[in-house]
Amino acid sequence: MRPRTAALLAALAGPPARGMMRLPEGVQRRLMRRPTERDGLLLAPEMQLLLALAERVDPPVDNPAVHAVRRDVEENVRIIRGRVVQPVATRGLTVAGGMPARLYEPAGLPPGRGLLVFYHGGGWVIGTLNSHDNLCRFLALRAGVRVLSVDYRLAPEAPFPAAVDDAVAAFGWAVEHAAALAADPRLVGVGGDSAGGNLSAVVSHQATLGGGPRPAFELLIYPAVDFSVRRRSRELFADGFFLTDVRIGWFERHYLGAWTDRSDVRLSPLLAGDLSGMPPTYLVTAGFDPLRDEGEEFAKRLAAAGVPVTLRRQDELIHGFANMFNVSRTARSAVQEAAAALRDGLRPPA
């Protein structure tokens, strides 16, 4: 049996499945017969159909080998990616002492605009520059910014705090070299999905504590922000919605390694005593996501600390929707909204 990510991607491989994903919402609901409802929320029929297809392709594996998950993600990324977002130019870079990175530049974008340092999701264990390539293209084009995606070290080969160290170093490098990247050094933001959202929040907090340059904006897409507490959403959506409780534990074990202090704010920025001074934030959660409640609590804590925050719950969606924008109308709308927030957050001063 294949890892869960591979099953989800393989479900979209055939033309019949893709055709069903394009059907009108009412037709999709009739196909599924009984809607999925939980916690007063109704799952988008596209998501319900996608999850049902994935379950039929292959049931989930609780403890897959890391190399198998990585192989399947890379082999199947083209399936869920769909049409490549254009016109966006890319070029490879090395940053912060040799870390691979990729710069995305929308065609015709003048110099002096914002730069987003992007950290991909994947539970600190999987994911690459390629796995989030189309998402970075989409954000760059729709937000009118340059995007620098960084290939930070992954666990279990490099457990915590290696990813944090890389993420902090990449942001510092981006600020220092912003002008050379045709960006405004005052408009360097951070962002990412899931584990990447965690790293973005941690980078922002560490920069705020350090007193040096801090991100101008942070884009947090269903972030993990607290390793210490199991909230209600983790129980509500423990199974059946792509990111399972078992898989969260799998990611955490690999990322933590021998580290035992789950309250370390470089793991759990929600537990920071003082969040004042953090950058303006757009934080989006998914209604059917076990990480939903911790992300929303983090947004409320930021707001209580006086940080300008927009919290948006995409009620109908599941964890991972940001990479599904080319196969789901509902996901695409959510990512468009995030890109609009990024555009506003890194808008050049008048």
- Write the pLDDT tens digit of every residue in 288-318: 999 999 999 999 999 999 999 999 999 999 9
Which whole number is the average pLDDT over 164-174? 98
Helices 195-210 and 162-176 sit at what angle, rounded to 10 degrees? 60
Q: What is the largest CA-CA distance in the chain?
A: 56
Q: Locate the domains of the chain by residue range.
A: 87-345
Exposure string of 4-13, with b = 16+ CB inside 10 Å and e = fewer, is bbbbbbbbbe
For residue 220, the cross-strand partners are 192, 283
List the catalytic residues.
194, 289, 319
Residue 53 Rama label (left phi>0; alpha psi -120 to 50; beta): alpha
Check whether 145 has a pLDDT greater than 90. Answer: yes
CA distance 27 to 29: 5
Which pLDDT score, from 0 to 100, does residue 244 have?
Answer: 93
Which whole number is the average pLDDT over 43-52? 88
Helices (H) and strands (E) counted in the chain, each on its own, are 12, 10
Name the pLDDT band for 32 (thresholds 50, 70, 90).
Answer: low
pLDDT tens digits for 177-198?
A: 999 999 999 999 999 999 999 9
Q: Which CATH architecture has domain 87-345?
A: 3-Layer(aba) Sandwich (3.40)
Q: Is the CB of residue 169 less than 8 Å from the CB of residue 96?
A: yes
Which pLDDT score, from 0 to 100, does residue 13 have?
Answer: 46
